[in-house]
Structure 1
Amino acid sequence: MSVLIVGTTALDSIKTPHRENPRLLGGSASHAAVAASFFAPVRLVGVVGSDFPAAYWRLYERHGIDLQGLQRAEGKTFHWSGEYLADMNQRRTLKTELGVLEQFTPTLPRAYRDSPYVLLANIAPALQLQVLAQMRRPRFVVADTMDLWLNIALPDLMKLLKRVDALVLNESEAQQLTKTDNLRLAAERIHRLGPAWVIIKKGSHGAMLSGPDGFFLAPAYPLRKVVDPTGAGDSFVGGLTGYLASSEGGIKRNLRRAVMVGTVVASFCCEGFGLQRTDRLQLSEIEQRLAELEQMCRF
């Protein structure tokens, strides 16, 4: 089954203590779409400017991503610049240039409107709501968010939560949204806002899933070296959603394994700058690393 992914398509300039790479392909939709493409057909909705490199368009095409919904507009592509500290869990934003994203309105091609799986990647909640208004009864909707929207768009986010099946957010965002440091209690409070499933990302410590079947804890795959964690969270939710779309049976049957798959795909993202490692990734590598992670967790 196909996955509709809506979010940002960006040019990222990334600096770490060891290296600097300007204007790499990035954005929440880009990372999520490539991650999902290993498992299911992907339909991408976003916007790029006239400065968007043709090589990045071809990267999408190499992964079989349907680009009917990717708009081209006159102006500059959304650009984010960030710097990581020696502790790769810490980063600071140096520059954000919205460019054509500032006037972006997601318009779904007619063929996209019956997509059974919908991933509302990190983008303004008002735009995520606009996407849902154009859909015809999707089977499963997952939304990602971030602290910015908690600070400046909370009313829209609260409306969105009533219309999604699953919410993905990181540990600090869950605490901010629910006013508690207890993640189990935070998940229970988010359920009362609407989503049947809550997935809390914990960075290098894995992820926590809360849903009708209780709690599930997924560890992160232990890497020998982290090159660049940019996009790891988007790769996580993209891999998760793509795996669900490719699996037989209901969401309950497959979601725990989907979380593990997302964790593994995210680990590959961290091994290269931007999408450099994920672009070269093979499904066989994902399967091998997933088997390794399962063996690590068995007792």
Structure 2
Amino acid sequence: MSLIISGSVAIDNIKTQVQSQEGLLGGSAPYASLSARLFGEAVHLVGVVGHDFPAAHLDMLTSRGINLDSLERNSGESFTWTGEYHEDMNNRSTLKVGINVLENWLPKLSPEAAKAKFAVLANMSPDNQLQTLEQCTEVEFVAADTMDLWINIANERLHDVMKKLDLLVINDGEAKQFAETTNLIEAGRRLQAKGPKYVVVKRGEHGSFLFGTGPQEFFACSAYPLSAVHDPTGAGDSFLGGMIGWLAANGKSKPTFADLRTAVAHGSVAASFTCEAFSTQRLQTVTLDEVKGRLEELRSYTSF
């Protein structure tokens, strides 16, 4: 079952305490798309790039089986993000952002992409998320991510998005902010009350919480343990893409809670690969056998 992944496509410049790299592939859509493709289904990436966007990045995405028929090529400059990670890789500083072609972007889905059964509204403005969804003619499962920026400046439109979701994926700090509570369990339930049938709260290196439809439908998944993190950029997007990629690959457009538990574990493993190298460099080389191996390890680490 095909899926669309709509979101930002960026040129990233990243510095850690060990090294720095420039001109990297970034943005929510590439990370989520590469992660979803680990599980073999057709992925349509919806986004926009400028005249300065490296052709090598686009060639790589195509080589990994990602359809770019809904990626707009604009004459302006590409969206760019420059950031620095501190010694604690959970903390980073944004040094510079160039909105550029994203400022007036209107998503445009190809006829084939519009028929996708799964829609991933990756991190982007709520307006762009709604504009994407309005063009989906046969969608059966809708998942979205968001961030503190949109909670602050587009709260009303974000609430409009929430009413159309089957699944919201959001990190812990933003879940508390959006739900106006310091308790993560309460936050998850309050977010469900805003519209999504299911909510996943990402907790970084501590894993994630999945909230189902009843009080007993709750699942806490560990993150895959890594001894070293090289670049956590895009890990959350990879988590989302891995989740929905697994659901699509298995035809789970009406997933049970058990299906979603399994999808969360697949998302966790996909995210772990992202952290092992700058940008999407590790995601580009991951094999399904490596994913399966890591899933077995995660299962052995967390069962009792």
TM-score band, normalised by shorter chain: over 0.9
Asked if residue 281 in structure 1 is aligned to residue 286 in structure 2, the reply is yes
| C-alpha distance in 1 between matches for 2:302 and 2:125 | 36
Q: Quote the residue 2:135 is aligned against.
A: 134
Q: 3-state SS of the aligned residue for 1:141?
A: strand
The residue identity in structure 2 corresponding to 1:211 is G
| C-alpha distance in 1 between matches for 2:255 and 2:85 | 36
| C-alpha distance in 2 between matches for 1:136 and 1:103 | 24
Asked if residue 251 in structure 1 is aligned to residue 252 in structure 2, the reply is no
Q: Quote the residue 1:271 is aligned against.
A: 276
Q: 3-state SS of the aligned residue for 1:110?
A: coil
Contact 1:35 1:242 in 2 (8 A): yes
Contact 2:3 2:113 in 1 (8 A): no
| C-alpha distance in 2 between matches for 1:132 and 1:124 | 13
User: Of 290, 297, 301, which aligns to 1:296?
Assistant: 301
Deviation, 1:137, is 4.0
Asked if residue 230 in structure 1 is aligned to residue 211 in structure 2, the reply is no
| C-alpha distance in 2 between matches for 1:142 and 1:265 | 17
Q: Quote the residue 2:31 is aligned against.
A: 31
User: Of 241, 266, 269, which aligns to 1:261?
Assistant: 266
| C-alpha distance in 2 between matches for 1:131 and 1:54 | 25
Q: How does 1:91-240 map to 2 (within 5 A)?
A: 91-212=92-213, 214-240=217-243
Deviation, 1:248, is 4.3
Asked if residue 86 in structure 1 is aligned to residue 91 in structure 2, the reply is no
Q: Is 162-171 or 245-254 further displaced after alignment?
A: 245-254
User: Of 223, 242, 247, which aligns to 2:245?
Assistant: 242
| C-alpha distance in 1 between matches for 2:291 and 2:63 | 18
| C-alpha distance in 2 between matches for 1:229 and 1:175 | 21
Deviations 1:121-160 (A, max 9, x none): 0000011011111111411000000000001000000011
TM-score, scaled to structure 1? 0.98
In the alignment, structure 2 segments of 5+ residues that lack a partner are none
TM-align CA RMSD: 0.9
Q: 3-state SS of the aligned residue for 2:44?
A: strand
Q: 3-state SS of the aligned residue for 1:103?
A: coil
Contact 2:11 2:27 in 1 (8 A): yes
| C-alpha distance in 2 between matches for 1:5 and 1:133 | 14
Q: Quote the residue 2:43 is aligned against.
A: 42
Q: 3-state SS of the aligned residue for 2:112?
A: helix
Contact 2:106 2:128 in 1 (8 A): yes
TM-score, scaled to structure 2? 0.97
Deviations 1:218-262 (A, max 9, x none): 000110110000000000000110000011454114111110000
* 4+ residue runs over 4 A deviation: none
Q: 3-state SS of the aligned residue for 1:96?
A: strand
| C-alpha distance in 2 between matches for 1:158 and 1:270 | 31
Deviation, 1:110, is 1.4
Contact 1:247 1:254 in 2 (8 A): no
| C-alpha distance in 1 between matches for 2:95 and 2:247 | 36
| C-alpha distance in 1 between matches for 2:174 and 2:81 | 21
| C-alpha distance in 1 between matches for 2:283 and 2:136 | 29
